[in-house]
Structures are given as C-alpha cells and as structure tokens.
Chains A and B, each alone.
Chain A
Amino acid sequence: MLDYAWLIPLFPLVGVLINAALGRWLSRRVVGIIASLAVAASFVVASLVFSAMLGLPAETDASGNGRERIIPIFTWIVSGSFGVHVSILLDQLSILMALVVTGVSTLIHVYSTAYVEKEEYHNRYFTWLNLFVFMMLVLVLSDNFLSMYVGWEGVGLCSYLLISYWFDKESAAEAGKKAFLVNRVGDLSFALGIMLIFATFGSLAFQDVFPAATAILPATATAVALLLFLGATAKSAQIPLYVWLPDAMEGPTPVSALIHAATMVTAGVYMVARCHTIFEASTSALNWVVWIGTLTAFFAATIALVQKDFKRILAYSTISQLGYMFLGVGVGAYAAGIFHLTTHAFFKALLFLCAGSVVHALSGELDIFKMGGLRKKMPWTFATFLVGVLALSGLPLFSGFFSKDEILFDAFEHGALVPWLLSVITAGLTAFYAFRLLFVAFYGQSRLDKKTERHVHEAPKRMLAPMVILAVLAVVGGYIGLPDFLRLGNAVDGFLEPVFADSTLALPPVEAGATEVGLMAVSVLAAVVGFLAAYWIYVRNWGLGARLTSNARWLYDLLDNKYYVDEAYMEAIVNPLRSLGAFLADVVEERGIDAAVEGLARLVGLAGEGLRRLQTGLVRNYALAMLIGAVAILAYVLVRSVLGL
C-alpha cells in the first residue's frame, strides 16, 4: 500500500486539470463535487497508507522493512554533477502532514460548495483550491529541497490567486499583491538557502543532506538555517514578514480557513521540523527560532486584544499560535510543535468556518461590535464556535490544552524560561481575546442593523457538517498526545519519534509528574484569568471596555493600529522602492535608454535624408554618374598597367 502513496498528490492534480479545462461548461454543483471528491480520494489513500504504516514495525529492521519509504517519481534535472530526482519521501512526519492537509481540505471543500454557491467563476475557485492542495502535498511529500521549493512557491501562488479572488475589489487585489510580494522576500531567502545547501553538500536530496549536516561548519549551518527560517517567517507569518496575513482575510472565508490557518502557514513549521539536523548543527539558529516564535506569539496576541473585525482577530490568533509552534520546534520538541500544528488545524479551521457562517448569515458584516445575540439565532454555529474557543484557549480536556501544554512544558524543561513565561502570559491573552470575540459576537443584545437582522439564519447543512466534524476533532484530537506523567503513552510523540531520532535535543521521558502538573496548573490558571477578564468586561459590565479604552487611549491606538508596523514598512521600504522605480522609469528609461534607441533611429533617418538627395529623378544625372564610374574604373586599370603592377 505504501508504494501507492503517489496517488495522494495525483487526485487533486487531476481535479485541477478537469476543472480548469472543462469547468466553464460544467454546472456549479459538478465542479464542486469533482473538486471535493478529488481531495476526498486523496484523504482516503492517505488514510489507507497510514493504517498500512501502522502495521509495519516502527524501526526499520535489517531487511529494510519499515515505515519509511522513498518512492521515485521521475528524474527532473541531470546536468553534470547536479541532479534532481523527484521522489516521494514517505515517513511518519510526511504522512501525518498529508493526513491533516487532505482531511481538513476535504471538509473545507464540502463547506465551500455551499459557501460559494452564488458566486460566479466557480471553476476558478475550485481549480485553485485543488491546485493548492496539490502544491501543499508536493511540499510535504517531497524528498529534496527543489521540489519542496516548487510546492512552497506553488502554495504562495494559490494563496495569492485565492486572496484576490474578488479581483475587482481594490482591497482584495492589494491584499493579494501584498501577500505575494512579502512571500517573495521570504522565497528569495529560501532560494539562497537552497543554493548554499547545494554549494555545501553537493546535493539537494534530504537523504544526502541531513546525515551530512553534522560534519559541516557551524557557521555554514547557521547561515543555511537562518536563510531557510527567514523564508519560513514569510510563509508562516512570523516577525518580520507576517504583515500579509491579516490583509489576506480579504479572500473568501473557506480560503482563510484552509490556507491561512490550517495548512499553508504551517509549511514553515514543517520545514524546520524536517530540517532539524541542519538547525541543530548550528549554534544559534534554534535560538532565533525560539525567540522569534515567542515574541511573535506575544506580539500578535496583544494586537488581537483590540481588533474589531471578526476575521482579523482570528488572523492574529493564527500568527500567535504559529509562534507557539516555532517555540516548540525551536527548543527541540519537534513532535510537540507538529502536534500543536495538528490540533491548531482543527480548531482554527473550525473557528474560521464559523466566521464564514456568520459572514454568510449577516451578508458580509464583519465588525463584531455590530453583531451580538447571535447565540440564539445561530445555535449550531455558536456551539461549534464555543468548542473552537475552548480549544484555542487551551482549557483542559480540549485538544489545544494538550498540545499547547506539551510545548510549554518542553520549553521549561529545556531551560527556555523567559520564553516560557512570556508564552504563559500569551496564553492568558489568547483566552481573553478568544472569549472576547465569543461574547461580543454571540452574547448580549443584538446590535445588528434591522435589514441584516431579518436575514440572519443558521448555516446550511453542507456548511454545518464540516464544522461539527472539526468541533469533534477539536475535542478528541488532543487525546493522541497525552502528557507523559499520565503514563498512558503519547501517541504522537511515539509515532514521530523515529523521524527525530537523530536529534540531539530530545529529553528523557519524565519520571515524576510534579513539575508537569505544576506547570500545567499555571497555564490553565492564565487561561482561566483571561476567560474571567473577558467575561467581566464583555458580559457583566458592558461599558467597562469603552472606559478602559479611553483611559489608556495611547495604548489602545498603538494596538489598534498594529503597532504601526505596516506604516513603518511603507515608509522605510515600499516608498523608497517606489521612488527608485519612478526614477528608473522616468529618468533612466525615458531619457537614457529610449533616447539612445530613438537617437539611433534618428541617425539612420538623417543618413537617409542625406542620401536621398542623390535621387534627383533626372536621367542626365544618372548618366553622369555612370560616366564617372566608367572613367574611374578605366583610370584604375590604365594606371595599374602603366605602373606594371
């Protein structure tokens, strides 16, 4: 069964081809069904491969029987000493990622069939959504840096295409451009990293590079790791290249759910986990990962505290949670980071799908202060959203609790105490903004305007079913990663362990559970404090929020304007580049290059003008010319014969 893993990326690709070529003539229902079936088939194959894998021994034994497999696909480049053979690297990490990607994608595709029902350009939407899944699978299943880069770029492309799906809306087009350009900066860094890898190792295949990583200079490893990581900060929206993600909310909400919550943004985390040997070979790279992850988590959470747009809050929440994942992989707890990636995929996609349900019902209203009381009118959406919020806040027994806690515990155990503390505070902030969103939008008096209020309705079944499934996963998904001290075995850690067996940062399993329980209590306390604060301000004392804001106006403005980062980038980077562009276009291009080319043309014209005077049209002048020529030839011949040459 494992040898059929190449089917996993194949189905979405087929979906793309069919919908791209024939979509215009197929009915809307059919287009959606084809796309959903393609991804569903992919998920089925991934599940079958996964269950087949579980039947195989965890460690590859002497006869080569094991869970890891490399399935060659085709040879791409053969050029002297440089060769790239595209193959699928099938191991525990890639199959887990593939499951998450295809599973969540299937649910979101089904949801989309209802969400975009009334849209035009159906085939465009579903084509690109399928293309995205294909590219993401290429990314997670590839066995070398070049095809990973193809997937990396491909998901960025699909993200751009889908963000600016409503391309005639100025803000959406701008947001798409911003996403693509910011990611381009990261991609450039990633590409430089790949080139350095080739220069150092002579190959781009993972199986050649990773075993040799310990033998290279730490400085080289640091350079490679940081270049790759800068690319990851763009793709996974960390400081400094996160600025595109909040704007990306311009796209359709299922797109936000799939790409900007569950899958694409996790590519950076996957990359760090996959390349852990390189990161560990460097002395400081993982330190960077830890600190950028922690600071981003805190930073984004503070911004989310005051946002009014439903989806923006969730966007900053995503940035913040991704910071947690990087904290996890940064301290060497790779399995924990991937575990949080998985649970986050469930509950963040769920939260976004609920947002979509609300947007759908309110005909596009996104300001939470113009909502209120939705709990009664949209009970299913409310219930599933509540589950998502509980999971996000990391309250016990929900999935987010297990994964976030494992990261915090591992951070503490590895001695990253300041990041741990900052992350605990962030957990409190997370609970606060999550419940704030819940309370303001769903509780209290309805602040809807009359026209929208009349149309408020619960979402159709095709949208509710995926939400419910994700809600269930958000609850039970945590049980695959139980804490060590319970001695019940951590399934995720165990499953992924062979992939990270060569890590030098692994911790021995915890014996006594006192530290772990203690730390758990601290983070749960932080979450409960956040919840209570939100409850106090937004349910009990409705006006309190406004009063607190006016008392600390400067702080509120700072957070509301996202610390003016976008404006700073605009001033420092975008505007100078634009002026440079204007200079090059108006001065260098027009006066320099155009003048040169035109000047050349004018020169030829002048020469023509001059030579034109020869054409008098008078026969006698032509006769004279012939005579002169004849005489000249004659003279030449005579002189030569006279001089005896």
Chain B
Amino acid sequence: MVPASFYLILSAVLFTLGVVGVLVRRNALVMLMSVELMLNAVNLTLITYSRFLESIEGQIFVLLVMAVAAAEVAVGLSIIVSLYRHKETTDVDEINLLKG
C-alpha cells in the first residue's frame, strides 16, 4: 500500500507548481494551464482522501470540480481570444489599462 502522504505531497507539489506558474508566467494561456494544474492537484487530494477514508463523497466532489473546470476553461479561453483580438498579444503584462 502506498502511504497517503505520498499522494498528498504530490498534490501539494502540483498545487505549488500551479501557483508559481500563475504568478511567474506572462503568457495568458500558460496561466490558464497553471490554474488547471491547481485544480487537478486539488482533485488528487480529494481522490486520495476518498480512498483512504472509504468515502465516495470525495469522488463525487471531483466530478463536480471537473465540470466547473471545463466551464471555466471555456469562458477563460473566450476571454483570452477576445483579448487577443483587441491587443494582438497574450502577454498579460500588456493588459494594464487599470494602472493607477
């Protein structure tokens, strides 16, 4: 049996990678992918506990998360597409109209 901690550490690492990706990368698509990575890390945590606590609820939750992730990607991508049409760039640092 693989100890639960392995899965959890993996999940934490994946989550951290996702966060760092959002903060550091400038490309909007990559930021979106990092967000997906974060979501999947959370999914992994949920599955892990579902298995080790012998409860099906974790897996149900993961299904919902996946649905939300899909919807979110659809919306996010359409935003990025319209942003690209406007500004001809995917570099988020260039989207600074709210700069005070």
Interface residues of A (CB under 8 A from B): 612-620, 623-624, 627
Contact sample, A vs B, 5 pairs, CB 8 Å cutoff = A612-B100, A615-B98, A616-B99, A617-B97, A620-B93
* Bound Cα distance from A613 to B100, whole angstroms: 7
User: Which chain B positions have C-beta within 8 A of A614?
Assistant: 100
User: Which chain B positions have C-beta within 8 A of A616?
Assistant: 96, 99-100
Residue of A612, A615, A623 touching B23 (CB-CB under 8 A):
A623
User: Are A627 and B19 in touch, CB under 8 angstroms?
Assistant: yes
Q: How far is the CB of B48 from chain A (nearest CB, A)?
A: 19
Name the CB-closest residue of A to B22: A623
Knowing A623-B22, A623-B23, the reply to whether A617 touches B92 (Cβ < 8 A) is no
B71 within 8 A of A: no
Q: How far is the CB of A635 from chain B (nearest CB, A)?
A: 15
B95 within 8 A of A: yes
Interface residues of B (CB under 8 A from A): 19, 22-24, 26, 92-93, 95-100
User: Are A627 and B92 in touch, CB under 8 angstroms?
Assistant: no
User: Which chain B positions have C-beta within 8 A of A623?
Assistant: 22-23
User: Are A617 and B100 in touch, CB under 8 angstroms?
Assistant: yes
Q: How far is the CB of B79 from chain A (nearest CB, A)?
A: 12
User: Which chain B positions have C-beta within 8 A of A617?
Assistant: 95-100
User: Are A619 and B19 in touch, CB under 8 angstroms?
Assistant: no
User: Are B99 and A615 in touch, CB under 8 angstroms?
Assistant: yes
* Bound Cα distance from A627 to B22, whole angstroms: 11
* Bound Cα distance from A612 to B26, whole angstroms: 23
Name the CB-closest residue of B to A615: B100
Knowing A624-B23, A627-B19, A627-B23, the reply to whether A619 touches B99 (Cβ < 8 A) is no
User: Which chain A positions have C-beta within 8 A of B22?
Assistant: 620, 623
Q: How far is the CB of A2 from chain B (nearest CB, A)?
A: 81
* Bound Cα distance from A618 to B26, whole angstroms: 10
User: Are B100 and A619 in touch, CB under 8 angstroms?
Assistant: no
User: Which chain B positions have C-beta within 8 A of A613?
Assistant: 100
* Bound Cα distance from A620 to B92, whole angstroms: 8
Knowing A623-B22, A627-B19, the reply to whether A618 touches B92 (Cβ < 8 A) is yes
* Bound Cα distance from A21 to B40, whole angstroms: 83
User: Are B23 and A618 in touch, CB under 8 angstroms?
Assistant: no
* Bound Cα distance from A624 to B96, whole angstroms: 16
* Bound Cα distance from A479 to B22, whole angstroms: 113
Q: How far is the CB of A634 from chain B (nearest CB, A)?
A: 13
Q: How far is the CB of B2 from chain A (nearest CB, A)?
A: 26
Name the CB-closest residue of A to B92: A619
* Bound Cα distance from A232 to B26, whole angstroms: 88
Name the CB-closest residue of A to B24: A620
* Bound Cα distance from A453 to B26, whole angstroms: 101
* Bound Cα distance from A613 to B24, whole angstroms: 20
Name the CB-closest residue of A to B93: A618
Q: How far is the CB of A633 from chain B (nearest CB, A)?
A: 15
User: Which chain A positions have C-beta within 8 A of B96?
Assistant: 616-618
* Bound Cα distance from A135 to B98, whole angstroms: 67
User: Which chain B positions have C-beta within 8 A of A620?
Assistant: 22-24, 26, 92-93
* Bound Cα distance from A619 to B19, whole angstroms: 13
Most buried by B among A615, A616, A620, A624: A620
Name the CB-closest residue of A to B98: A617
User: Which chain B positions have C-beta within 8 A of A627?
Assistant: 19, 23
Q: How far is the CB of B12 from chain A (nearest CB, A)?
A: 13
User: Which chain A positions have C-beta within 8 A of B92?
Assistant: 618-620
User: Which chain A positions have C-beta within 8 A of B19?
Assistant: 627
Q: How far is the CB of A613 from chain B (nearest CB, A)?
A: 8
Q: How far is the CB of B87 from chain A (nearest CB, A)?
A: 13
Q: How far is the CB of B5 from chain A (nearest CB, A)?
A: 18
Seed contacts A617-B96, A624-B23; 7 additional CB < 8 Å A-B pairs: A612-B100, A617-B97, A619-B92, A620-B23, A620-B26, A620-B92, A623-B23
* Bound Cα distance from A154 to B69, whole angstroms: 83
Q: How far is the CB of B99 from chain A (nearest CB, A)?
A: 3
Name the CB-closest residue of B to A614: B100
Q: Which 4 A-B pairs have the closest CB atoms?
A: A617-B99, A615-B100, A617-B96, A617-B98
Name the CB-closest residue of B to A609: B100
* Bound Cα distance from A620 to B31, whole angstroms: 10
User: Which chain A positions have C-beta within 8 A of B97?
Assistant: 617
* Bound Cα distance from A613 to B92, whole angstroms: 19
Name the CB-closest residue of A to B25: A620
* Bound Cα distance from A619 to B26, whole angstroms: 10
Q: How far is the CB of B25 from chain A (nearest CB, A)?
A: 8
Name the CB-closest residue of B to A631: B19
